[in-house]
């Protein structure tokens, strides 16, 4: 007789709690996408009920990313290895990230956008037009990478 309980777990989505400013959200999203694991992303910055749920899971801390798996288990701020092991245990295969995927993931970091804004401001003060143009391009590419990641 075949065990269907594991198959039922794999069809339910993983609840993926995150926030716009968390630099760990893009790499976790990319790993889930590479595994082709169904997930529902919930931004706790805009959802008080979800923020409260994350705080319940994490002893009063709004720590993200927090993942709630269909089997009821959770991972908070998982390393890539921890997340891969959990996904493998649930039957998902996570292949290695391509160079392009790693670059796009890095570009999605809020720190890249902060750096770009700081470079724009400092180069504007110094009237350095080439650096202003490069900084604006970096900012726009970062925003585009984040937009595309959400659409894929």
**In terms of DSSP bridges, do strands 39-43 and 14-18 run parallel, antiparallel, or are they unpaired?**
parallel
Rounded Cα distance, 54 and 22, in Å? 14
- Separation CA 44–CA 42 (nearest Å): 6
Task: Convert the pLDDT of each residue in 25-61 to its tens digit.
Answer: 999 999 999 999 999 999 999 999 999 999 999 999 9
Q: What does pTM read for this prediction?
A: 0.76
Residue 67 tokens, joined: 């993942």
Mean pLDDT of the chain: 89
Reading the chain (152 residues) residue by residue, the pLDDT tens digits are 434 444 444 578 999 999 988 999 999 999 999 999 999 999 999 999 999 999 999 999 999 999 999 999 999 999 999 999 999 999 999 988 888 888 888 898 889 999 999 999 999 999 999 999 999 999 999 999 888 877 66
């Amino acid at each position: 007789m075949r065990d269907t309980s594991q198959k039922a777990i794999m069809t339910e989505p993983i609840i993926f709690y995150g926030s716009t400013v968390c630099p760990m959200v893009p790499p976790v999203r990319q790993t889930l996408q590479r595994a082709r694991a169904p997930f529902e992303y919930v931004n706790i910055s805009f959802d008080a009920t979800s923020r409260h749920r994350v705080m319940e899971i994490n002893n009063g801390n709004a720590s993200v990313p927090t993942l709630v798996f269909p089997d009821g288990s959770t991972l908070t701020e998982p390393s890539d290895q921890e997340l891969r092991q959990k996904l493998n245990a649930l039957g998902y295969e996570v292949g290695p990230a391509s160079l392009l995927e790693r670059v796009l993931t890095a570009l999605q970091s809020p720190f890249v956008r902060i750096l770009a804004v700081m470079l724009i401001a400092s180069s504007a003060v110094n009237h350095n037009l080439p650096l202003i143009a490069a900084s604006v391009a970096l900012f726009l590419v970062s925003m585009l990478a984040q937009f595309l990641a959400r659409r894929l």
